[in-house]
Amino acid sequence: MRKQPLQEERPVLDFTDDYPVFTHAMKDTHTILVPDMLPWHFDLLAYILRLHGYRVEVLHNEGRAVIDEGLKHVHNDACYPALCVIGQFLDALKSGKYDPDKTAVMITQTGGGCRASNYLPLIRKALKAEFPQVPVLSFNVSGLEKDSGFEMSLGLILEFAYAVFYGDLIMSLYNQTAPYEKRAGEAAQVRQSCLDALKPQFAKGSYRKFAKHAREIIAAFSAIPVTGEKKIKVGIVGEIYVKYSPLANSHLEEFLLHENCEPVVPSLMDFLLYCAVNPLNDAKFYEKKSRSTFLFRFVYKWVYGKQKKLNHLLAKSKFEPMHDFERLRVLADKVINQGVKMGEGWLIPAEMSALCETGVSDIICVQPFGCLPNHIAGKGASRAVKALYPKANIVPVDYDPSATKVNQENRIKLMLATARENRK
């Protein structure tokens, strides 16, 4: 247990509460619960953690009960993603499926200015009310939690990087195939088979054969019989959690597929590259240099090189490549300075511009309640993007505890009606 030291002559003030710490010994006894953000990415990432000896389970509980649980324990001015994550944790712990004395929870953090970097105190405060014995872990490379027994090794980070690339590739190919498949459900079967085939590669250590495995995944999706039908492509941008999480965005991708559209979702690796390049921008714009600046430059070059290789393989196939990150930076400069890095910052208008340049002019910008940076760089920057791309049909959709799925879907249907009219 961790306790804030206090001087005896002063009154005891509860500035920081005691909280349980995840110890090395808990690795063998505790199940770690992870909130569901990207179901297929996280399935692979959880498997990697199990290979390293951790007992990990990705949560898939959802529905109004999860949101209500979050509302009970989080002030209603907290951002919607925090409410969803905390609600999912508490709903799972109350389900009876897990022993609170042998359970921990984990979230990922970037260490940036977004309130996501302050989720831990919120989660701990919520858990203290009913499950004070449950430790909270943070998966980050910023040194936010220095007293945790969770080990962040270089090998684990490297495996995670490859897993994100594979997850992005599978997500992109699935979205480009599922709307056009001749046999319903075949794209989902191939998606699962690709994930199942990748897992042994991580167990054997051959996951680094990046080009080989990428070609195999591309070949698997290329073999799916598809129609020659042309459908409206709809891009999804916005706050990172709501952009990807089915719980937070009311299964947005599935809804678009049901509406006879092709969802186009930017890769998770774009966001990680954004996080890696921001310290370099700090050194450039604000003269904020440190010993880690060189490290971030090396990481950025390595990851960007892998992205270029993947896009090169996709360019030789029938599928559309993912966004080139250096191109995203160029497009961002036309709208907003790269020094604007709170939350998703300049990445949102850059992704909107890149979608318009690649023929995806119909875009949904997901707007979670309480995310001020997203409203500024997303909704606020959309007018500048429309000025650059007059055909852009951008609609912001609000996601918060009081927003109903029907209202969200009706707003999207109005956007699709405009898209169909423009297409004529």
Per-residue pLDDT at 15: 32
Strands 232-238 and 362-368: parallel
Statement: residue 324 has pLDDT above 60: yes
User: Is the sign of the CA dihedral 418, 422, 423, 424 positive or negative?
Assistant: positive
Statement: residue 3 has pLDDT above 50: no
Q: How do residues 343-389 score in pLDDT, each as one tens digit?
A: 889 999 999 999 999 999 999 999 998 787 888 888 889 999 999 99
Q: Are 74 and 82 a contacting pair, CB within 8 Å?
A: yes
Statement: residue 14 has pLDDT above 70: no
Q: How sure is the predictor about 153, in pLDDT bands with cuts at 50, 70 and 90?
A: confident
Per-residue pLDDT at 119: 80
Statement: residue 302 has pLDDT above 50: yes
Per-residue pLDDT at 11: 31
Per the structure block, which two tokens stand in for 338? Answer: 């790269």
Percent of the chain with pLDDT over 70: 93
SS3 labels along 257-316 = HHCCEEEECCCHHHHHHHHHHHHHHHHHHCCCCCCHHHHHHHHHHHHHHHHHHHHHHHHC
Burial string for 199-210 (b: 16+ CB within 10 Å, else e) reads bebbeeeebeee
Q: How do residues 224-234 score in pLDDT, each as one tens digit?
A: 999 989 999 99
User: How large is the angle between the packed helices 186-204 and 154-177, nearest 10 degrees?
Assistant: 160
Q: Are 273 and 400 a contacting pair, CB within 8 Å?
A: no
Per-residue pLDDT at 363: 97
This model's pTM is above 0.95: no
Structural domains in the chain plus CATH codes: 24-151 (3.40.50), 231-266+323-423 (3.40.50)
Q: How do residues 164-205 score in pLDDT, each as one tens digit?
A: 999 999 999 999 999 999 999 999 999 999 999 999 999 999
To the nearest whole number, what is the mean pLDDT of the chain? 89
Q: How do residues 264-277 score in pLDDT, each as one tens digit?
A: 999 999 999 999 99
Q: How sure is the predictor about 313, in pLDDT bands with cuts at 50, 70 and 90?
A: very high
Q: How sure is the predictor about 419, in pLDDT bands with cuts at 50, 70 and 90?
A: very high
SS3 labels along 99-152 = CHHHEEEEEECCCCCCHHHHHHHHHHHHHHHHCCCCCEEEECCCCCCCCCCCCC
Per the structure block, which two tokens stand in for 146? Answer: 């220095």
User: How large is the angle between the packed helices 210-222 and 186-204, nearest 10 degrees?
Assistant: 160
Per-residue pLDDT at 402: 87
Residues 6+ apart with CB under 8 A from 274: 325, 341, 344, 345, 347
Q: How sure is the predictor about 98, in pLDDT bands with cuts at 50, 70 and 90?
A: very high
Q: Are 313 and 218 a contacting pair, CB within 8 Å?
A: yes
